[in-house]
Amino acid sequence: MKVFIARIYQKILYIFTCLIKFREPIILKKLDEAVEVLRKHNKKNILLLSGKRVCKEEFYIYLDNLLKEQFNVLNYTDIPSDPDIESIEKAVIKSKEYNVDAIISIGGGSTMDAGKIVAARLTNNKSIRKMRGLLKITKKPIFMIAVPTTCGTGSECTVASVVTDLERNEKYAINDPKLIPQYAVLDPKTLLTLPKHLIATTALDALTHAIEAYIGKSNTNKTRRYAHEAIYLIFDNVEEAYKSHDLESLELLQLASYDAGIAFTKAYVGYVHAFSHAISAYYHLPHGYLNGVLLPIILEEYGDCINKELQDLNVEVFNNTDNPHDFIDKLKELLVNLDIKNNLCDIIKDEDIPNMIKHIKKEVYPLYPVPRYFSDEELLNIFNKIRNIA
């Protein structure tokens, strides 16, 4: 009965998303263009939001100097790698004091997610916890420009923002079309100093977005097209970008991340993300790394119900046989080439697994249109496979 209700909910949501045209951010190619856009929209007080690593980079300093020539700029650089409610609320308080009317979020997915929540909090008189879930934001957030400095999250074009609730030991998503930024700056030069392990893990995050969107049950022709293009671009470019920081490869990974974001905004994600969020909430591990480790394990667990989708991808992406297991093998090979190793066996504790399973089920039902639902026994078995004890 629970599965039936979830599928009905997803069908209604599918119809809704087909009827509603989601905004797609206007793509800018250079940081300078963001300044022109702010002037065009008559903005005055700008929040420049980032984390500790990015604010030291030359491209950040360049943008900061450009902005300060024409606007009042509030620099907030204390966004952690897992943005939590407390750190976001500090940014909200400072922004209100500064009368901020536009946000530029420059960084990885954590920074862009935080910027979206700050933008919503500045116009909505409700707590972050009350925004949890779907369509809980009533008023339009303030003007947003997102500048991704990684290869992966797609947050610059999605309806979703993920936040960590440290008090409740949870990590969850806020989903609302109002969270989509007005503009996205896809400048590959912001990736040139990205550590190679972050090129790998953020690209795997985008790959997971695309694959989960592609195999889910809420696809349209458009989401399949975007997901397929993202999968192809990532497999074709990530190893070169990882090895050499090749600018063209980095540019194509940025585009792939954007395409994957467009795909999963309407088609959603699945169990890989639910597991990743649960594990990250307990052990604070990088989201992209977890997605990479979990993806082949959960694809195998889905079994025959995704054979058709994996067969199609195997033929279209690799011009290979239509054996679905060949696609998973290619994925495992990619993880090896990107030096991604499963180190979770000594991290995940037995006593935490029951609560993580509850977290996973709460996230998946009824929102995610997964290929099939796993029983509690199957979820436990997946944890055992993750820990190499199955």
pLDDT of 269 higher than 90 = yes
Please identify, among 167, 185, 203, the residue that sits at the C-terminal boundary of a domain.
185
pLDDT given at position 389: 62
Residues 107 and 213 in one domain: no
- Alpha-carbon span 269 to 367, nearest angstrom: 9
- Alpha-carbon span 112 to 137, nearest angstrom: 17
Q: Angle 137-142-148 (CA atoms, 0-180°, nearest 5)? A: 95
CATH number at residue 313: 1.20.1090.10
Query: pLDDT of 79-131, one tens digit each?
Result: 998 899 999 999 999 999 999 999 999 999 999 999 999 999 999 999 999 99
H or E element at residue 27 = strand 26-28
CATH number at residue 143: 3.40.50.1970
In total, how many domains does the chain have? 2
Residues 358 and 219 in one domain: yes
Please identify, among 162, 185, 208, the residue that sits at the C-terminal boundary of a domain.
185
Q: What phi-psi label fits residue 268: left (phi over 0), alpha (psi between -120 and 50 degrees) or beta?
A: left
pLDDT given at position 169: 85
Whether the Cβ atoms of residue 128 and residue 111 lie closer than 8 Å to each other: no
Residues 61 and 197 in one domain: no
**What tokens appear for 248 in the block?**
């063209």
Classified as helix, coil or strand, 103 is strand
The whole-chain average pLDDT of the chain stands at 94
Whether the Cβ atoms of residue 247 and residue 342 lie closer than 8 Å to each other: no
Whether the Cβ atoms of residue 386 and residue 296 lie closer than 8 Å to each other: no
Q: Angle 25-31-34 (CA atoms, 0-180°, nearest 5)? A: 55
Domain enclosing residue 9, as ranges: 3-185
pLDDT of 371 higher than 90 = yes
- Alpha-carbon span 38 to 143, nearest angstrom: 9
Residues 165 and 207 in one domain: no
- Alpha-carbon span 217 to 377, nearest angstrom: 23
- State the alpha helices, DSSP H only, in the chain: 2-19, 31-40, 58-68, 85-98, 109-121, 196-215, 221-244, 247-267, 271-283, 287-302, 307-318, 324-337, 353-364, 376-386
Residues 122 and 226 in one domain: no
Residues 62 and 179 in one domain: yes
pLDDT given at position 311: 93
- Alpha-carbon span 50 to 33, nearest angstrom: 19
Task: Work out the percent of the chain whose per-residue pLDDT is above 90.
Answer: 86
- Alpha-carbon span 368 to 8, nearest angstrom: 12
Categorize the per-residue pLDDT at 252 as very low, low, confident or very high, splitting at 50, 70 and 90: very high
Residues 49 and 179 in one domain: yes
Residues 78 and 180 in one domain: yes
Q: What is the 3-state secondary structure (H, E, C) of 37-80?
A: HHHHCCCCEEEEECCCCHHHCHHHHHHHHHHHCCCEEEEECCCC
**What tokens appear for 188 in the block?**
């590959």
Model-level pTM? 0.91
> DSSP label at 145?
E
Q: What is the mean pLDDT of residues 261-287?
A: 94
Q: Which residue has the higher pLDDT, 378 or 13?
A: 378
H or E element at residue 162 = strand 160-165
Query: pLDDT of 310-343, one tens digit each?
Result: 999 998 888 877 788 899 999 999 999 999 999 9
pLDDT of 390 higher than 60 = no
- Alpha-carbon span 8 to 329, nearest angstrom: 34
**Beta-ladder partners of 48:** 75, 104
Residues 101 and 160 in one domain: yes
Query: pLDDT of 355-370, one tens digit each?
Result: 999 999 999 999 999 9
Q: What is the DSSP string of 223-259?
A: HHHHHHHHHHHHHHHHHHHHHH--HHHHHHHHHHHHH
Q: What is the mean pLDDT of residues 171-183?
A: 94
Q: What is the mean pLDDT of residues 135-140?
A: 95
Residues 69 and 140 in one domain: yes
Q: Angle 204-205-208 (CA atoms, 0-180°, nearest 5)? A: 85
Query: pLDDT of 213-235, one tens digit each?
Result: 999 999 999 999 999 999 999 99
